[in-house]
Amino acid sequence: MKSKILLLVLVIFLILAVFLTGCCLFKNLSADVVITKWEQDYSNGKWSDQVKVYYTITNTGSVDIGYYNIWLAVYCDYEGIYEDGGVYEDWTITGGYIRVGKSKDCTCLTTVGENEEVLGMNVSNLILVRGPLQ
């Protein structure tokens, strides 16, 4: 009987220890990315194949972000014929540290097809990696 009570107390103690010290089990790693604008040069009747993208990333989780990968899907129009435009997917790695609740304004370059006008874009994938242990 004593061994069953001792075992029960030990199990309760272990559950309590995991709950109190294992709060990191409940920490959330998440972020919102908003594309604020993009710039694409147009000269001599042609669109540049380089697009500068401006975006804001906000840490909406409960742990710091060490770095992140963002994939952008870019939708284009080829010489005024939307059906012939391409969809390009590109990614950027930014090693910037983002604390919980903080935002960072960033830029990146992405490449599209020759003489294709960018009509729109969105974030197609986001991978977050936790910052140093806290």
Q: How do residues 65-117 score in pLDDT, each as one tens digit?
A: 998 999 999 999 876 665 556 788 887 777 678 999 999 999 999 999 888 99
What are residue 49's phi and psi, to 5 degrees?
-90, 0
Q: Which two tokens stand for residue 25?
A: 């089990």
The residue whose two tokens read 């959330």 is 28
Residue 113 corresponds to which amino acid? G
66, 130 Cβ separation under 8 angstroms? yes
Contact yes or no for 96/55 (Cβ under 8 A): no
Q: What is the pTM of this model?
A: 0.74
| pLDDT grade for 126, boundaries at 50, 70 and 90 | very high
> What domains sit in the chain, N to C, each tagged with a CATH number?
28-128 (2.60.40.1620)
Q: Which pLDDT belongs to residue 44?
A: 94
Task: Give the whole-angstrom CA distance, residue 50 versus residue 52.
Answer: 7
- List the beta bridge partners of residue 121: 74
